[in-house]
Amino acid sequence: MFTSNRTVAIGEAMIEMAVVGEGTYERSFAGDTFNTAWHMAQLLGPDFPVGFATKVGSDTISTSFAEELEANGMDIACIARDADCTMGLYMIELDGVERHFHYWRNHSAARLLADDAAWLDRVTRDAGLIHVSGITLAILSPDGRARLWDALAQARLRGARVSFDPNVRPRLWTSVTETRDTLAWFFEITDVALPSFDDEAALWGDASPDATLKRFAQAGIPEIVLKNGAGAVLACANGAKISVPTPPVSDIRDTSGAGDAFNAGYLAARLSAMDQADAIPWGQRVSSRVIRHFGARLPKERVPKFE
């Protein structure tokens, strides 16, 4: 299924200020594709290398980020530096268990990650799985998106599979038309789609999860997993459709990163040669643990391990 056991996620990591108490915040690092890659590395261990391809600054916080990744078993060879930029920052504001985000990312070096076509070719070479998201695309310039598309297309010709979470964030796009056109363009080079129904319904007007699944299948994507909050996960692989109920979760503290964690559990299971029906519960398991915790990533000791 995969030509290599190496995973590379491409995108932006930000400084996260997460609520841990009344008026108290804890600094960490997060970002949708980063959250997925980090959880995958903890799930899979050293036999399945996981790298995160991004661009950060040359400041001490950016250095701390790289050092933390390396200490957590991740490949940092594909982290580039930019002396004139730094990492973006966001703060989570909770309303019950739901969250609102405040962003400061105008000087984020990750916006420039696709400026160098040779670098993109280098970081994607020899990868069996490459994971990107709609946020990855949204922060790039149109020329950067084109370079990333070309790099992913070339990687697929070498045998890599591309997983794509559309992860629609309207404020990052200039218009609905730009969003739809760009996502549809990247569907052409997607092997595993990991959408969320609420995003898809808002952007495309899908009337039901079944309608979303059908639309992705019509785009020619061979493997689709549709997340739907507490609802059942609908999935399709090579035309075979399944529905997997989502177990109820109590003691929810913060839903930040739930979808990213699901992606990590699912993709890690697929890399470990599980079929789709067995991989989905792994996605649900990791996601359910994240939402019982403040912030988008679990404490390392709480990440479940594959046997």
Question: Is 260 among the catalytic positions?
Answer: yes
The two tokens of residue 201 are: 């319904």
Exactly one of 165, 198, 260, 278 is catalytic; name it. Answer: 260
The two tokens of residue 41 are: 């590395």
The two tokens of residue 158 are: 């070498």
3-state secondary structure 144-186: HHHHHHHHHHHHHHCCCEEEEECCCCHHHCCCHHHHHHHHHHH
List the catalytic residues. 260
